[in-house]
């Protein structure tokens, strides 16, 4: 066995997994506040990527300015979505809110298609395509940059949830009624979680847009992001990062062994298998909270 090649597969898989974590962190942020998986995260990722691309290409802004402006716009969009579409469903069955997020995803994807068309566009962040070597191991520079962004966001959110506002969001996640009773604005907290998740979606869209182009294919990240969130625990940001690394390694190494046998296309099969096995064996994930209800 070529251990150098195996190490290269594992390390590059871990870097890719951290990019999946970018998507999953947005899912976790909303689930922590509303206990609902956000199926619109893929649509938000596409919108974020197209907004930054429009600011940089169509308006001619430099990327160092287009990205923060895009983050502000996505922050406002997230707040607006919660205020207009989801606040009206407060207290309704979870399945209704879940279907609303699915409808939002379809609407957002259709909107991007109507405005920018279906042609793939390159993001061009200025990251060099020159090979980066760790000893004898080849690494992709954009994957390294994306992994660094994912780790930076993880640290930022871990610190954020230790602040006064972050503690309020954690309280909302624990108990809506108790939070209301002590004067915490639950609606504002849920809106903030949507706003932050939208900014994270933009970060994921920009990085993945550089890797594979900005088009409707970005919506396919939902399966892998959801798998990472479920594997790590839907209410754990740490779990999203750890699970992303694990899934990336399993996917990359497993596909190298399985593709020659099945003729290719095993990556999606591996991801689906991980999702199914997680739900069957450990539905609350590796780091998720396991609530036991008395009856």
> Which tens digits make up the pLDDT trace of 230-282?
999 888 889 999 999 999 999 999 988 888 887 777 888 899 999 999 999 98
pLDDT score of 286 more than 90? no
**Where does the pLDDT of residue 291 fall: very low under 50, low under 70, confident under 90, or very high at 90 and above?**
low
Show the tokens assigned to 227.
Answer: 């798998």
What pLDDT score was predicted for residue 295? 40
Identity of the highest mean pLDDT range in 127-141, 163-177, 202-216: 202-216
pLDDT at 34 over 80: no
Length of the chain: 295
Weakest-pLDDT range from 152-156, 201-205, 250-254, 285-289: 285-289
Cα separations in angstroms, 267 against 83, 223, 271: 38, 12, 6
Provide the pLDDT confidence category of residue 104 given band limits of 50, 70 and 90: very high
Interhelix angle 186-212/164-174, nearest 10 degrees: 100
- What's the chain's average pLDDT? 86
The domain segmentation of the chain, as residue ranges, is 3-220
Q: At what angle do helices 237-262 and 3-34 cross, to 10 degrees?
A: 130
Label residues 94-127 b or e (16+ Cβ within 10 Å = b). eeebeebbeebbeebbeebeeebeeeebebebeb
User: Any bridge partners for residue 132, and if so which?
Assistant: 139
Q: Evaluate whether 236 touches 287 at the Cβ level (below 8 Å).
A: yes
Q: How far is CA 39 from CA 135, 150, 222, 228, in A?
A: 41, 20, 8, 14
Q: Is the dihedral of CA 189, 245, 258, 234 positive or negative?
A: negative
- pLDDT exceeds cutoff 60 at 116: yes
Calpha distance 211→236 (Å, rounded): 27
CA distance 88 to 80: 12
Distance, CA of 288 to CA of 239 (rounded, Å) = 7
């Amino acid at each position: 066995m070529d251990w150098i090649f195996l190490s290269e597969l594992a390390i590059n898989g871990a870097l890719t997994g951290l990019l999946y974590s970018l998507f999953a962190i947005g899912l976790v942020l909303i689930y922590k506040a509303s206990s609902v998986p956000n199926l619109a995260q893929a649509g938000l990722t596409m919108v974020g990527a197209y907004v930054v691309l429009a600011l940089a290409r169509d308006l001619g802004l430099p990327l160092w300015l287009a990205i923060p402006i895009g983050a502000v716009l996505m922050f406002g969009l997230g707040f607006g979505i919660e205020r207009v579409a989801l606040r009206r469903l407060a207290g309704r069955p979870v399945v209704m809110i879940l279907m609303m997020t699915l409808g939002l995803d379809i609407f957002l994807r259709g909107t991007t298609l109507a405005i920018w068309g279906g042609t793939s566009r390159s993001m061009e962040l200025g990251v060099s395509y020159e090979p980066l070597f760790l000893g004898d191991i080849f690494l992709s520079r954009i994957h390294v940059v994306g992994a660094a962004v994912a780790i930076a966001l993880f640290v930022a959110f871990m610190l954020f949830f230790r602040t006064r506002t972050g503690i309020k969001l954690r309280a909302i996640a624990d108990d809506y009624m108790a939070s209301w009773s002590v004067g915490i604005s639950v609606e504002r907290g849920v809106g903030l979680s949507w706003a932050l998740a939208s900014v994270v979606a933009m970060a994921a869209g920009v990085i993945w847009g550089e890797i594979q182009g900005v088009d409707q294919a970005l919506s396919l990240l939902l399966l892998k992001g959801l798998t990472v969130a479920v594997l790590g625990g839907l209410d754990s940001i740490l779990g999203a990062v750890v699970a992303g690394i694990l899934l990336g390694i399993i996917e990359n190494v497993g596909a190298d062994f399985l593709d020659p046998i099945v003729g290719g296309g095993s990556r999606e099969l591996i991801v689906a298998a991980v999702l199914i096995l997680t739900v069957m064996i450990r539905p609350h994930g590796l780091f998720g909270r396991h609530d036991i209800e008395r009856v």
